[in-house]
């Protein structure tokens, strides 16, 4: 019987990182970045890629939100919801560690 893992929940203090089995790689044929994990390939859009690149194991979710808000000249509140939803979805898929 497989043990159920406890779901990690994103908070502003979470420090996301990419697990060892996940990497970002440029595909010259498609001229796009892919996120590779065992048996799966994801094709994130530019904003998703910006979020994933900031998942360095040092920056908190709050830091990532502030950084993206500055880069996109947007209000932090507007960015916060999208970032937390994205990170939660990717954490649930085991593609981001919280």
Judge whether residue 74 has pLDDT over 60: yes
Model confidence pLDDT, tens digit, residues 31-66: 999 999 998 999 999 999 999 999 999 999 999 999
pTM: 0.90
Q: Which two tokens stand for residue 44?
A: 């994130």
Surface-to-core class of residue 59, CB atoms within 10 Å of its CB (0-12 exposed, 13-18 middle, 19+ buried)? middle
Judge whether residue 93 has pLDDT over 60: yes
pLDDT at position 53, please? Answer: 97
pLDDT at position 4, please? Answer: 65
pLDDT at position 77, please? Answer: 95
pLDDT at position 6, please? Answer: 83
């Amino acid at each position: 019987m497989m043990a159920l893992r406890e779901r990690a929940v994103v908070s502003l203090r979470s420090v996301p990182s990419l697990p060892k089995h996940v990497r970002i790689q440029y595909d010259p044929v498609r001229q796009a970045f892919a996120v590779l994990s065992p048996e799966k390939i994801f094709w994130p859009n530019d904003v998703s890629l910006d979020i994933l690149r900031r998942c360095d194991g040092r920056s908190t979710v709050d830091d990532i939100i502030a950084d993206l808000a500055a880069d996109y000249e947007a209000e932090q509140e507007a960015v916060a919801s999208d970032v937390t939803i994205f990170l939660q979805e990717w954490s649930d898929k085991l593609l981001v560690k919280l």
